[in-house]
Amino acid sequence: MAGTIRAQYPTTIRAILVPCAGRVGSELIMRAIGQGADGILVVG
Amino acid sequence: MLAANRHPNITTMTMAEVIEVDGYIGNFSVKVRKNPRYVYEDICTGCGACSDVCPIYMPNYFDENLSARKCIDVAFAQAVPAVWDLQMDWCVECYACVDSCDVHCIDLSQEPEIVEFEVGTIIIATGWDIYQGDDYGYGEYDNVITQIQLERTIAPNGPTLGHLKRPSDGKRPKNILFINCVGSRNEEHPWCSNVCCLLSVKNSKLIKSEYPDSNIVVSYIDMRTAGKAYEEYYKRSREAGIMFINGKVGALKEDPETKNLIATMESIGTGSIIEFEAELVILSSASLPSAGTDEIAQILKVEKSPSGFLKEFHSRLDPIQTKIAGVYICGSCQGQKAIGATVNQARGAAQAASIPMTAGEYTIELIRAQPNDERCAKCYKCIETCPYSAISVDESGKIVVDLINCKGCGMCAAICPSLAIELRYYRDYQYNAIIDTFFEA
């Protein structure tokens, strides 16, 4: 979406490719939070 | 239909329903219940002697219940196979038909029969049903009918042999009102049924050309005549003297004596309120997914759209394939569409199904779930989670992934509490490495 409306991501956002939003489990979310992420957006 | 039935490579099963499907592309095993016809198809000669003696009349569902048929009768004149059938719900078991049959093909003790067979690919073409809510007094007022009932009325082989007659008194209606978008484009059924505008244009034009003294009004919200030559057709209808009024009918009341219907509508074009006394009202009712769509979606594990129609792999780029390899959809079970689009999609589905069957092999991607027996705690959460039913347990309790039905979504990997099932190329340690790297900087 950000790409199609020519918007820029803030530099503090990191995108991770997943085959399906279903692949994102609590393990991955907790790991990211544990590492210091402020928030996680699962987009499908 | 007849040509298809006669084709040596096509077997038709009528009065049958699919009850179970197992397997995967190239190896589907299908269980079908053949409901009893109470007439042996291979013996019946179609002489009709049984109908002559049958004392029971019942509503003729082929004529949208506008006429009567015998309890034992042929479904319609061109039915395939041209074999009589007995409707047990209405039968009084007088056995008059059994006695009248010279070839002894009627058997009232027939039971449903389960047939099993193997197929390589499956095409779903279960069609649609018409909305039959009580909008505009449908079902209560005699002279309010649907477009399908009108189609049967003006069909040459219909209940009135093609002569336009209204249900209440059998007289020819002169003032006729068509109401478009009935039960559709609202909150419950938000979709446009796609065909009704043209159906109103066609049927009003047919009536006008047969009976030029008819006074026909079509009330519409938008006139949607997208498609080759459709706009021209609409223009010709207007030139023929059919009145198209932009505005939806607000109220419809029946005159109890004449059974005429008084419609009140606003014309958006002139801004005025119009009252029109119609002798016959035809509703362009919404097209809905056919009654068995939920069951067939469950049996074949295909997805449904929010509207209830079956879901395609991609609405624009792959509207024929479903999420299950080897299962294709065509026609109105996928969405509201006209005959031309249905024929196109049906041909496409036949072609799409023939490609893997001719090739004899099917290539899958390597992105598939991989179970790890040593870590598995046998909670079997993955089996419940898998949207494609690709995970099962073997005799020893081990998790087995069906690599053809698995689509590599990774939901099993996300739900597994003991990290015992992984998705190839999207493994946990790979993601962990990505996440950790992000926060190193």
Residue B299, pLDDT score: 93
Residue B181 has φ and ψ, to the nearest 5°, of 55, 50
Mean pLDDT of chain B: 94
Tell me which chain B residues have a C-beta less than 8 angstroms from the C-beta of A20.
Answer: 408-411
Q: List residues bridging with B252 in a β-sheet.
A: B263
pLDDT tens string B175-194: 999 999 999 999 999 999 99
Share of chain B above pLDDT 90, in %: 89
Gap from B385 CA to chain A (nearest CA, Å): 10
Residue B85, pLDDT score: 93
Residue A3, pLDDT score: 75
Whether B341 shows a pLDDT value over 90: the answer reads yes
Give which of A9, A12, A28 to mutate to test B binding, by max B Cβ within 10 Å.
A28
pLDDT tens string A2-25: 778 888 888 888 889 999 899 998
Residue B441, pLDDT score: 67
pLDDT tens string B216-269: 999 999 999 998 999 999 999 999 999 999 999 999 999 999 999 999 999 999
Q: How far is the C-alpha of B328 from the C-alpha of B147, rounded, in Å?
A: 29
Q: Is A30 on the interface with B (CB under 8 A)?
A: no
Tell me which chain B residues have a C-beta less than 8 angstroms from the C-beta of A12.
Answer: none
* Domain parsing of chain A, residue ranges: 11-44
Residue A1, pLDDT score: 64
pTM: 0.85
Whether B389 shows a pLDDT value over 90: the answer reads no
Tokens of A23: 């692949």
Q: How far is the C-alpha of A9 from the C-alpha of A31, rounded, in Å?
A: 22
Tell me which chain B residues have a C-beta less than 8 angstroms from the C-beta of A38.
Answer: none
Closest CA to B263 of B141, B150, B166, B154: B141
Q: How far is the C-alpha of B141 from the C-alpha of B61, rounded, in Å?
A: 20
The residue-averaged pLDDT of B99-107 equals: 94
Residue B323, pLDDT score: 87
Instruction: Say yes or no for a CB contact (<8 Å) between B410 and A19.
Output: yes
Q: How far is the C-alpha of B199 from the C-alpha of B178, rounded, in Å?
A: 10
pLDDT tens string B259-311: 999 999 999 999 999 999 999 999 999 999 999 999 999 999 899 999 999 99
All structural domains of chain B:
2-119 (3.30.70.20), 129-288 (3.50.50.60), 369-440 (3.30.70.20)
Q: How far is the C-alpha of B126 from the C-alpha of B122, rounded, in Å?
A: 12
Share of chain B above pLDDT 70, in %: 100
Looking only at the bridges linking them, the beta strands covering B175-182 and B144-146 are: unpaired
Confidence at B326, pLDDT banded by 50, 70, 90: very high
Residue B34, pLDDT score: 95
Q: Which residues contact A14 (CB under 8 A, 6 or more apart)?
A: B438
Whether A32 shows a pLDDT value over 80: the answer reads yes
